[in-house]
Chain A
Amino acid sequence: MFSRPATETQITHGRRLWLYVLGGLVILFLVLPSLLVIPLSFSDSRYLAFPPPSWSTRWYGAYFGAVEWRDATRTSLVAATLTMVISTVLGTLAAYGLHTAQSRFARAVYATYMLPLIVPGILIAIGIFLLFARLGLNNTMTGIVLAHSVMAVPLVVITVASGLKGYDMNQEMVARSLGASRLWAFLTVTLPQLKISVISAALLAFITSLDEVVISLFIAGGENATLTRRMFNALRDEIDPTIAAISTLLILLSVVLLGLTQLLQRSPR
C-alpha cells in the first residue's frame, strides 16, 4: 500500500511515511500526558513513578476524606452551575438580539462582547479584584459567579450565534403570521431548533467556570476557595498525588461533556 498515491499530486504513502509518524507523535504529545495521570492516580507510592510499583485508591480516599477539598469542590460546582445559568441566558439573548435587530451598532456590540476573550486574563483578574474590594464582593459566591459569567458569556454568544446562522428565520415569521407573539414564536419555534447550540454553549460555560484559574486566584479565597485555586496553590508547593486523583475525576468529566456535545451535534435536529 506504500506505493499507492495518497493525494491528488500522486505522492505515495511511502514517501509520506515520515509525515504520518510526525502526525502520530503530535497526537500522542497532545493526548498522552493527561491520560498518564489516570494510572498514576491509582499508585500506592508518593513518588508517582510509572508504571506504579503497586496499586491503591489511597489518593481518592485522601481527596474525599479532606474537608478542604470537599468544600472547594462544592464551591466550584455551585459556581459553575450558577455561571452556566446566568451566562447561557444573557448570551442567548444577546446572540438573538444581534442576529435579528440588524442594528448599525451590531459589529461594535459583538466586538465588545468578545473583549473578555481578547483582554489578557491577568488584567481582567486584577481589575475585578480592585472593583470587588470596593464592593465587598471578594471571596463571595456572588462575586465568583459574576466574574466567571463575564468569561463565559462571550463563548455562549459565539456558540449560539453560529447556531442562528444555520437557522431559517422565516420559520419564526410564519409562526407570527399565524398569530403567535414574538416571544411565543421564539420559545416554541426558534429555541427548540437552537437546542443543540444552546446546550453546547451551556456546557462550555460550565467548563469555563470550573476551569477558571487566574481570576479565582484573586477573588475566590477563604471559605469560598474554588477547586482550581486550591489545586494551584497545592501545585506551587509540591507535587501532591491527591491532585492526580482529582485530575482523573476532572478528565472523566471533560470526556463526558465533550462526548455529550459530539453526540448532540450528530443527532438529527
Chain B
Amino acid sequence: MNSLIPLLVAAPLAGAALLLLGGRVLDRFGHWLGTLAAALSFAFGLVLFFDMLGRPADDRAVHVKLFSWIPVAGFRADAAFQLDQLSITFVLLITGVGTLIHLYSVGYMAHDERRRRFFGYLNLFLAAMLILVLADNYLLLYVGWEGVGLASYLLIGFWQHKPSAATAAKKAFLVNRVGDVGLSIAIMLMFTQFGDFSFAGVFENAPQASQGKLTAIGLMLLLAACGKSAQVPLQSWLGDAMEGPTPVSALIHAATMVTAGVYLITRSHAVFDLAPDAQTAVVCVGAVTLIFGAVVGCAKDDIKKALAGSTMSQIGYMVLAAGLGPIGYVFAIMHLVTHGFFKAGLFLGAGSVMHGMDDEVNMRHYGGLRKYMPITFVTFALGYLAIIGFPFLSGYFSKDKIIEAAFAKGGTEGWILGLVTLVGAAVTAFYMTRVMLLTFFGQKRWRPTADTSGSAAGEERMPHPHESPASMTVPMILLAFGSVFAGGLFTLNSSFLRWLEPVTGHSEGHSPLPSGVVTGLTIACMLAGVGVSYLMYGRGEVPVVPPIGSPLTRAARRDLLQDDFNHAVLVRPGSALAAALVYFDIKGLDGFVNGLAATIGGVSSRLRRVQNGYVRSYALSMFGGTLVLVATTLLMRSA
C-alpha cells in the first residue's frame, strides 16, 4: 500500500513531463491526459485515505524512504515521504480540487493555442504541491515549496505577451524568494541545533533547545509562511497574481498553494508550542492581514482582485488560528479545507462570469447577471453564503470555531483577537455582499468590448452573457456541494477534530464567553455587514465610474499603498545602489586596480601601446617568452 505514496507525486509529474516535452502530437488530447493524471493521483489519495481510516489513530503515520538525496558527512537529507492525517487531508484537497479545476480548464482554455502547456504547468504544480505536503523533512519540503513557486510563476505569466502578466509573475516569485530565505535560514538553524532537519528529529529534540533558538526558528518559518501565504508584510504579490488565467487563481492562489504557510506552521507545531514569542508574532501577522485583506477586498472593482483580497483575509484567519497553538491548529486546517471549496468555487464562478462577459473583470460593468447565468449564479451564491458564515454552511462552522478559539486564548489578548475576528467577519460579509450585488443583481451596466474573435475583429460589441459549458459548470456544482456540506460534516461528532488531534494536539482553552454568545455575535456581525452592503449597493443605481471616495477607499484601491511603500523603500534605493555600483566597478575599482598595476609594473603605458594596435606582436612575444621558459626548464633536466 505504501508504494502508492510515491505514485501520488509520480502521476502528475509524469503528466507534466509528457505534456511539456511531448510535441504537438499531444495537442489534441493533452488536456485530457493532464486531467487524467490529476484524477489518478486523487484516486491513489482516496485509496490511501481509506487504508489509513482502517488503522487505529496512533498508527496512521507512514514513512517511505525513496533514496538518500544529499549524503555529505554530518548531513543527511533524504528523499522520503511521510503520510499522516495532516498530509492526507492536504493530498485529498489538492488532488480533489485540482482534478475539478483541470476539468474546468478543459472548457475555460479551449480556445488557447497553448492549452497543452497550460495543463503541463498545472500538473507540475500538483506534483510540487504534493511533494510539499508529503515531505518528511524540511529540505524536501523546500523543494516542493519553491516548486509550487515556479509553477505559480509560470502560470501567472502564462499569457507572457502581456507585460502586466510577465511583471506580476516575476513579482510573485521575487516576493516569495524573500520568504524562502526565511525557510532556508530556519533549516540552517535546525541543523546547527539538532544536526538534522527531519520532522521527526526536530520535533523530538525541540524541547532541548533554548527558547531563544526556537523563537528564531519559528520567526524564520513565519517569514516563509508570509511569503507563500501572502501575509503582511509579504502580501503584495497576490493581487497582481490575478493576471494568471482564472483556473490558476482558483487552484493555486485561493485553494491550495497560498495555504501552504498555514500547513508549515501547523506542521511545525512542536517548535511553535515551545516558542510563545514566535506564536505571538504569528497571531499578529494573521490579525493584521485579516483586516488588511478585508479592507482591500472592499475597495476593488476587479472581481478577481476583490476575491484575492478576500483570500488574504481568510488565510489571515487561518494563520491567526495556527498562532493560537493547540487551541487553534485543527480549526486553522478545517477553515483551510472549507475555504478551499468555497473560494475555489467563487473563483470558478468569477471565471465563468468573465467567460460570458468577454473577459470583462470590472464589476461595475456587470449587473443583473443572475438571469443569464443561472448555474453560475446559484453555485456562486452558495459559495458566497459559505464564506460569509451563513448558518449551517461550511464557512459558518469553520470560521465560528476560529472566533471562539480567539476568545479562548484568554486574557486581554483573547479579547483583542476575538474582536478583530468579529470585525473581520462583518467586513467579509460586507465586501462579499458587494461582489454579489454588483455582479448578479441590479441594473445591467454592460459595456461594449473590443471584439477579438470572428469576422468583425476590431469592432466593438456588447457582451451577450451565456451560461458556460458543462465541463465548467460541473466542477462549480461539485465545489458548491463542498461549500455547503463540508463544514457540517467535519463538525458532526467533532470528526475533523478527532481526525487531526493525534498529529497537532488540541486543547479547549478558556473562553470568557459561552460558545452560544460567540456564535450569536458572529451571526450579528455577519448580518450587519450584509445590511450595510445592501444599503450601499443593493438599492440605488451603482455608478459605472467609481466615485472618488474617502482617503481610505483610495488607499485601499491601491492595496493600502503596499506597492508605493515597497517602491520607495526597496525598489528605488535598490536600483540606485545597483547603478552606483556599476559605475563604481568600472570607474572606481577597475581604475584603482589598473592604477595599482600601473604603479607596480608600468602597465598603463603598455596598455596604451597595446590598444594602439600592437596586440599581436605583444601576445606573440608573450608566447615566445613562455616557450623559452618551458624550453629552459626542459633543458635543465639534463643538467
Does B associate with A? no
